[in-house]
Amino acid sequence: MRFALSDEQRQFAESIDQLLSASDPAKANRAWAQGQHEPGMRIWQALAELGVQALIVPQQWGGIEATPVDLVVAFERLGYHAVPGPWVDTVAALPALLPEDHPLAERFLPGVASGETLASLVLRPHVPYALDADVAQARLLLDGAALRRFSPGQVLSSMDGSRRLFEPVPGAENEADTGADTGAGTVTAETEAAFDMGVLATAAQLLGAGQWLLDASVTYAKQRKQYGREIGQYQAIKHLLADVATELELARPLVHAAAIALGGDTAARDVSAAKVACARAAHLAARTGLQVHGAIGYTAEHDLGLRLTKVRALVSAWGTQAVHRTRVLRGMPEHGRVG
């Protein structure tokens, strides 16, 4: 199977890169961590003009109905530039959670497509806390087979300061939800689809973050000198960076394959395999980046530090590595089982 992107997908990725390179997402990230959302929301609106938020929203609700591969292309660039905000919840998971005929689709999806609505989802047990619930208009918690509203409760600490997590308080009223009660709907199948879509988008973010860490480390290795030579000329550094490049290249086709498999019988296995591989590659990129950069990588002011904490948080977001390894094992053909 060939996973090469089309010319349109490459141009879409380049457009996102150009926009984000001129928008200073790192500064927006640090502001977001302090509860100052204006810089991040300006980026959010700019990306909406490119159609990022509308990618998998049905055309009926103002979306594009693009493919999951298009979604992966966008989320890899979001991860590369470390854009803050509840992107996975809003752009990937919510449209999958609300099919076209769901009573909440008309209420929330047009706003998602236009960039006016942010979502915070709680899908227990693997998504137990509400991300950025203080700025989200669509706050939905899965309660059995029904979706309920919630209000943001206690603020929780996160490894990544820009991932603002809240304890969900089910059933409480809040100013943002002024319409009719969300009511109940049977969402079992949609919940599974939404979780898989969230896992896939998180994997793509990790892939992008890992690629940034590799690029930054290679650039630094070509500039930093020891004993009169660039450190990138030493075999030890070359081997470290080559290992990262190999892990990233092995993970990338798994992400694209999982995007193609969504909706099929192997979707759960394939998205989990992609998440495991991307998390491993990004984690190796983070550890290697820290080694190459030395102590400067620990400082919060350096963009490397921003990625280190983000990768650490994303590795456990939308299911731990143990959860996804178990899903992969359960999805293997009987003859492929070990033990």
Task: Give DSSP secondary structure letters for 136-202.
Answer: -SEEEEEETTEEEEEEEEEEE--SSTTS-EEEEEET---TT--SS-------HHHHHHHHHHHHHHH
Mean pLDDT calculated for residue range 299-304: 87
Select the more confidently predicted residue: 316 or 99: 316
Question: Are residues 323 and 264 part of one domain?
Answer: yes
Q: How confident is the model at residue 339 (pLDDT cuts 50, 70, 90)?
A: very low
Is 184 within a domain? no
Q: Which of these three, 112, 137, 170, is where a domain ends?
A: 170
In the chain, what percentage of residues exceed pLDDT 70?
A: 92
Is 339 within a domain? no
Is 124 within a domain? yes
Select the more confidently predicted residue: 21 or 300: 21
Q: Which of these three, 170, 204, 238, is where a domain ends?
A: 170
- And the tokens for 11? 């141009």
Q: How far is CA 158 from the centre of its chain?
A: 16
pLDDT > 80? residue 307: yes
User: Domain range for residue 295?
Assistant: 192-331
Question: Are residues 135 and 210 part of one domain?
Answer: no
Is 175 within a domain? no
Is 337 within a domain? no
Question: Are residues 166 and 269 part of one domain?
Answer: no
Is 187 within a domain? no
Average pLDDT of the residues of the chain: 91
Q: Which of these three, 170, 201, 228, is where a domain ends?
A: 170
Could you give the number of structural domains in the chain?
A: 2
Question: Are residues 249 and 135 part of one domain?
Answer: no
The CATH number for 63's domain is 1.10.540.10
Question: Are residues 123 and 232 part of one domain?
Answer: no
Is 181 within a domain? no
Q: How confident is the model at residue 188 (pLDDT cuts 50, 70, 90)?
A: low
Question: Are residues 292 and 162 part of one domain?
Answer: no
Could you report the per-residue pLDDT of 276-297, keeping only the tens digit for each?
Answer: 999 999 999 999 999 999 878 7
pLDDT of residue 2: 65
pLDDT of residue 300: 80
Question: Are residues 131 and 12 part of one domain?
Answer: yes
Question: Are residues 28 and 129 part of one domain?
Answer: yes
Question: Are residues 161 and 285 part of one domain?
Answer: no
Question: Are residues 125 and 55 part of one domain?
Answer: yes
Is 308 within a domain? yes
pTM over 0.95? The answer is no
Question: How many residues in the chain?
Answer: 339
pLDDT > 60? residue 104: yes
How many alpha carbons fall within 13 Å on the CB side of residue 153? 11
pLDDT of residue 333: 80
Could you report the per-residue pLDDT of 109-129, keeping only the tens digit for each?
Answer: 999 999 999 999 999 999 999
pLDDT of residue 336: 54
Longest C-alpha distance within the chain, in Å? Answer: 69
Kindly tell me the burial class for residue 9, based on how many C-beta atoms sit within 10 Å of its own C-beta (0-12, 13-18, 19 or more).
Answer: middle
Question: Are residues 223 and 103 part of one domain?
Answer: no
Burial string for 251-279 (b: 16+ CB within 10 Å, else e) reads bbebbbbbbbbbeeeebbbbbbbbbbbbb
pLDDT of residue 337: 54
Question: Are residues 158 and 250 part of one domain?
Answer: no
